[in-house]
Amino acid sequence: MPRDADAGPFPLPTAELERVAGDVVAVAMEGGATAAETDVSQAVGLSVTVRRDVVETIAYNRDKGIGVTVYVGQRRGHASTADFSAEAIRATVGKALAIARHTAEDPCAGLADPDRLARHIPDLDLYHPWNLSVEDAIELGREAEAAALAVDKRLTNTEGSTVARGESEFVYATSQGFLGGYRSSRHHIDCAVIGEDGGGMQRDFWYTAARSREDLQAPAVVGRVAGERTLRRLNARGLGTIDCPVLFDAPEAADLIGAFVAAVSGGSLYRRSSFLLDSLGRQVFSPEISIREEPHLLRGRGSAPFDNEGVATVARDVVRDGVVEGYFLGSYSARKLGLVTTGNAGGSHNLVVSHGGDDLAALMRRMGRGLFVTEQLGHGVNPVTGDFSRGAAGFWIEGGEIAYPVEEITIAGNLLAMYRDIVAVGNDVDRRGSRHVGSMLVGRMTVAGSA
């Protein structure tokens, strides 16, 4: 992090965040803490939504904050404030100390082990400010919406198009002497469209998101894809109950990976509330699946040189040939489990799922007959048993091709069986988020409908 970086679009320069962080830690130690950590942050952004060529909302954000955690022995207290004045810092630290002194001792509480802290902080190219004016954002939103409506006359309405930019910066400091932080950015354009015909109304959407403006899809492309996705859903039908293969569209497949991450994360494991307890070294996925954590991808959505405790992040295999090789742990959960931190305080980083050479069309041909899921509804995953049941919409596949759209159905199974029954992952990898995965074909699930 450049110590002499000027404020740029932010309220404060980097050096001021560092000074505040140092003051917070010093006040905590002077007040009787045996250890302390703080996160000092600031963020700016703009979001504009256009609907039917009319500006619906314009929102600015310009935020800053301090979070401080103190330890008195093995008693922990936390407090936060948005006021950077010396008086507010002392008051906030005082509250954290008061909480700690009234909290039960926890033998696992404390800062990260010093030997795990990041010593070198690489530049991961995460900060690309976008000098986006309100007027430019309005025009980009109108362009996306117009492209969507131009796809077909049956697209009669929209839920709007949003164009947004966001930049943030933080500094993390501890009483161990760690001081680090960096700036990052996140921009996006989205569009949601409504179509109508004799069979009723349907909606769908599309979006693009990236660290840099130059990596975003053009607004016209976003709108066109949103329009095409909505159009293909018109005249949707129901289905009867059937057991069949299910092909998850790439963005939906990311949810299946998310359920795995939650199940092998520290909190779920030490609370014994996971269907993947004691899964380290076990075959959980089909041998087709390997998952690698890559925290240092340039411009990656989940990239970070260190985690929320200052622990250095490292590339590693989480799943290899279907076998679980790693959990997602911070220092506290690692101590609870008798293990060591994996540098995942705050969550997982970029997860790259292995894939074959088939594109989406080839996966449909491989499936032959079954369900292609493009939308899941609700939160029907039991984290303790792995039972899976969610509302869904998508397309029925016959002869390896789309036959007709379907809606008002439920897909059900158990994640343990589903993971082992993954037949293939496509090369249509969705990299907009932190889970990079292609469309995923599961050999057999129960599909239930009212038809």
- pLDDT > 70 fraction of the chain, expressed in percent and rounded: 98
pLDDT higher than threshold 50 for residue 4: no
What are the tens digits of pLDDT across the range 433-442?
999 999 999 9
| pLDDT (0 to 100) of residue 441 | 98
Per-residue pLDDT averaged across 192-207, rounded?
A: 92
Cα 425 to its chain centre, rounded Å, is 20
| pLDDT (0 to 100) of residue 2 | 47
Angle, in degrees to the nearest 10, between helices 219-231 and 134-149: 30
**Summary mean pLDDT of the chain:** 95
| pLDDT (0 to 100) of residue 159 | 96
pLDDT higher than threshold 60 for residue 5: no
Listed residue (63, 96, 180) closest to 88, CA to CA? 96
φ, ψ (nearest 5 deg) of residue 77: -140, 145
State how far the Cα of 161 lies from the Cα of 174, in Å rounded to an integer: 42
State how far the Cα of 278 lies from the Cα of 164, in Å rounded to an integer: 42
pLDDT higher than threshold 80 for residue 118: yes
What are the tens digits of pLDDT across the range 393-403?
999 999 999 99
Structural domains of the chain ordered from first start: 14-229 (3.30.2290.10), 235-255+355-448 (no CATH)
3-state secondary structure of 422: strand
Per-residue pLDDT averaged across 373-392, rounded?
A: 94
Please check whether residue 70 is in contact with residue 36, taking contact to mean a CB–CB distance below 8 angstroms: yes
pLDDT higher than threshold 70 for residue 143: yes
- How crowded is residue 295: how many other Cβ atoms within 10 Å of its Cβ? 25
The identity of residue 161, as a single letter, is: S
Query: Cα(first)–Cα(last) distance of the chain, in Å?
Result: 59
Give the pLDDT band (50/70/90) at residue 16: very high
State how far the Cα of 371 lies from the Cα of 374, in Å rounded to an integer: 10
Give the pLDDT band (50/70/90) at residue 3: very low
Please check whether residue 296 is in contact with residue 121, taking contact to mean a CB–CB distance below 8 angstroms: no
Long-range contacts made by residues 90-98, C-beta under 8 angstroms, separation at least 24? 90/27, 92/24, 92/66, 92/68, 93/24, 93/27, 93/28, 93/31, 93/68, 94/31, 96/28, 96/68, 96/69, 96/70, 97/28, 97/31, 97/32, 97/33, 97/70, 97/72
Listed residue (286, 265, 292) closest to 276, CA to CA? 265
306 burial (CB, 10 Å; 0-12 / 13-18 / 19+) is buried
Per-residue pLDDT averaged across 279-301, rounded?
A: 97
The CA-CA-CA angle for residues 187, 188, 194, to 5°, reads: 165
What are the tens digits of pLDDT across the range 299-357?
999 999 999 999 999 999 999 999 999 999 999 999 999 999 999 999 999 999 999 99
| pLDDT (0 to 100) of residue 378 | 84
| pLDDT (0 to 100) of residue 8 | 76
Give the pLDDT band (50/70/90) at residue 200: confident
Q: Dihedral through CA 307, CA 20, CA 80, CA 41, nearest 10?
A: -50
What are the tens digits of pLDDT across the range 52-86?
999 999 999 999 999 999 999 999 999 999 999 99
Name the β-bridge partners of 375. Answer: 393
State how far the Cα of 30 lies from the Cα of 40, in Å rounded to an integer: 19
Tokens of 271: 């609370």
Name the β-bridge partners of 409. Answer: 392
pLDDT higher than threshold 60 for residue 20: yes
| pLDDT (0 to 100) of residue 198 | 79
| pLDDT (0 to 100) of residue 451 | 57
Per-residue pLDDT averaged across 132-137, rounded?
A: 97
State how far the Cα of 58 lies from the Cα of 315, in Å rounded to an integer: 40
Please check whether residue 47 is in contact with residue 187, taking contact to mean a CB–CB distance below 8 angstroms: no
